[in-house]
Chain A
Amino acid sequence: MSSTVHDPVARAGVLDFRGQMSMAARNRWAVRDIVEGLQLWPLARSLGWLDIRLRYRGSLLGPGWLTLSTAVMIGALGVLYSTLFQIDVHDYLPFLALSQILWTFLAAMVSEGCSCFTQAEGMILAVRMPLFLHALRTLVRNVLVLAHNVLVLVAVYIYFQINPGWTALLSLPGMAIWVVDMLAFCLLLGAFCARFRDVGPIIGSLMQIAFFLTPVIWQPEQLGPSRWVLPFNPFFALLEIVRAPLLGVVPSHTVWSAALLYSGILCLVAWLFFVRARGRVPFWM
């Protein structure tokens, strides 16, 4: 057999499990899960990419549908709401385009985070795989969707001749926080929804409410003197640290502190839950 010369060798390793693990051991396994997940980055990238290809396999425009449907929706909503709210479409539409695209990303990450483990049931029960890989895959998939939608944003910015200037760079640290938060969301919600199957739909309806409570289609200024309540909405703080700089506005200290505080709490809760749940997830499939 000619292939024996080149036979690829499976990943070597040592698995050393002990029942009734101590908290320290559970933490070590959780860290190992994350590290191994990062090492499998090429796999996560391919899985995320194939997810998108698969969704649009056999369609004429392929992932171009993402761009097109976003463009149509933003165009329609922009005209409708600028009339309803009696705001100049030049002021409103770029805001709406940016908000809507960013919100779509956040909402999709949260809802797909819920199913990130359950939808990979076949894989989880077939081979030993770090769970973090499924979180990465969900992130890759949604970043690809976001990248398609950003084309609409670029078109809108060019058409309305909007230049946020160097302030836009301030959105980069915000995006870094998003990446960490979204992965934390996936680990937390993915494990939680695998255990309690009705949590997914509950989160779905909560996100609907959050959409209306968060200034996505309406502008923060429209709240008038009651604007001080906004930072209490975690989604507002998270959205604003990326959105404001892209509109040429520097986010306030309050917004930044709130975003960091919420992210810290989220990551802590996600870690504590993940450390306990990691080894149990395959039993919940």
Chain B
Amino acid sequence: MRRNARIDIDGVSVFFPLYHGSSRSLKKTILAAASGRLGKDMQQRVVVQALRDISFTLNSGDRLGLIGMNGAGKTTLLRTLAGIYEPVMGHMRIDGSLNSLLDPNLGMSTELTGRENVLLRGLYNGLPRPEISRLEEDVATFAELGDFMDLPIRTYSSGMVMRLGFAMATAIRPQILLMDEWFMVGDAEFREKAQVRLENMVRGAEILVISTHDTSVVRNWCTRVLWLDQGRIHLDGTPEEVLEAYLGHPLTPLEAERV
């Protein structure tokens, strides 16, 4: 029997070292200084404290929304949950298969064709060949790419790239799905289709963590919201509580309607 998915995070901090070319680090230094997050690590290197002392637990069925300003640490938190950035401090345990949609392009080679990218994704997930052909079919149908499947991704429009990325990530069913807000772009028709497919996926009693600026997404999909500010959890609660505090006013009838 498959184990239930679970995310357990306790006191996790992630620091970014500032090293590279002067322009790059200067920019980062200024940005970080502006947000009061510049510190030194044990070896006296200058670091940006991207996440500070984050703790929470998610169980099967939880849908967590991450809100906060740009640079609040939403993407870093998603990447940490995905196991890409390893925490500098604290303890993190992720149980279950995991899939992340952090950026439509990420993980895809723009020089390769759609089909080749699907093949790579399938191999990454350790699928046997027959399943990979089924995966190709599924992705091609859902993303409505037609003949574009055999053209390099760099020839795609941004909407097509997004559809391909979304179709790929949702074709392989994870127990834990991590999403950045990019997927909400695209035409209305696709959004509707995407929502149906995503809801199918989330209904499988798995965990969703989604980072977004869109309050309607939070209200429609999430059962819990974290408001991140300067790498810390500012507020943790139900969508209604956190959104009202975040927006600074009670939810308007229009916003409430979308629940």
* Docked CA distance A273–B26 (Å): 28
| In the assembled complex, B156 has its CB within 8 A of some CB on chain A | no
For B173, give its contact among A8, A18, A283 (CB under 8 Å).
A8
A259-283 near B? 1/0 per residue, CB < 8 Å = 0000000000000000000011011
Q: Which residues of A contact B91 (CB under 8 A)?
A: 16-19
Given the known interface contacts A6-B134, A125-B84, A127-B84, the answer about A15 and B123 at a Cβ–Cβ threshold of 8 Å is no
Tell me if A253 counts as interface (CB < 8 A to partner B).
no
A12 touches B123 (CB 8 A): no
Stretch from A35-43, A82-90, A184-192, A215-223 at the B interface: A35-43
Contact residues, A176-201 vs B (CB, 8 A) = 195, 197
Give the CA-CA distance A203 to B13 in the complex, in Å.
35
In the docked arrangement, what's the CA distance between A6 and B136, Å? 13
Judging by beta carbons under 8 Å apart, are A12 and B2 in contact? yes
Which stretch, B16-24, B61-69, B251-259, touches the partner chain A? Answer: B16-24
B29 to chain A, nearest CB (A): 16
Residue pair A13, B97 in contact (C-beta under 8 Å): yes
Given contacts A8-B173, A284-B19, contact A127 B82 (CB under 8 A): yes
Cβ–Cβ contact A8 & B127, under 8 A: yes
Complex CA–CA separation, A282 to B76 (angstroms): 11
Report yes or no: B17 in contact with A126, Cβ–Cβ below 8 A. Answer: no
A70 vs B13: C-alpha distance when bound (angstroms) = 52
CA gap between A259 and B233 in the complex, in Å: 55
Bound together, the chains give a CA A208 to CA B86 distance in angstroms of 37
Whether A11 touches B126, Cβ cut-off 8 Å, given contacts A1-B200, A283-B16, A283-B85, is: yes
Check B97 against A12 for contact (C-beta < 8 Å): yes
Q: Which of A6, A9, A123, A129 contacts B97, CB < 8 Å?
A: A9
Q: List 14 A–B pairs whose Cβ atoms lie within 8 Å, in order of A's numbering.
A: A6-B131, A7-B171, A9-B97, A9-B173, A10-B97, A11-B125, A13-B96, A13-B98, A47-B120, A50-B109, A50-B116, A125-B102, A127-B107, A282-B85
The 10 lowest CB-CB distance pairs between A and B, nearest first, are A126-B106, A126-B107, A19-B89, A128-B83, A43-B123, A10-B97, A10-B174, A12-B97, A279-B86, A15-B94
Residues of chain A touching chain B, judged by Cβ–Cβ distance below 8 Å, are 1, 3-4, 6-20, 39-40, 42-43, 46-47, 50, 54, 57, 122-129, 195, 197, 279-280, 282-284
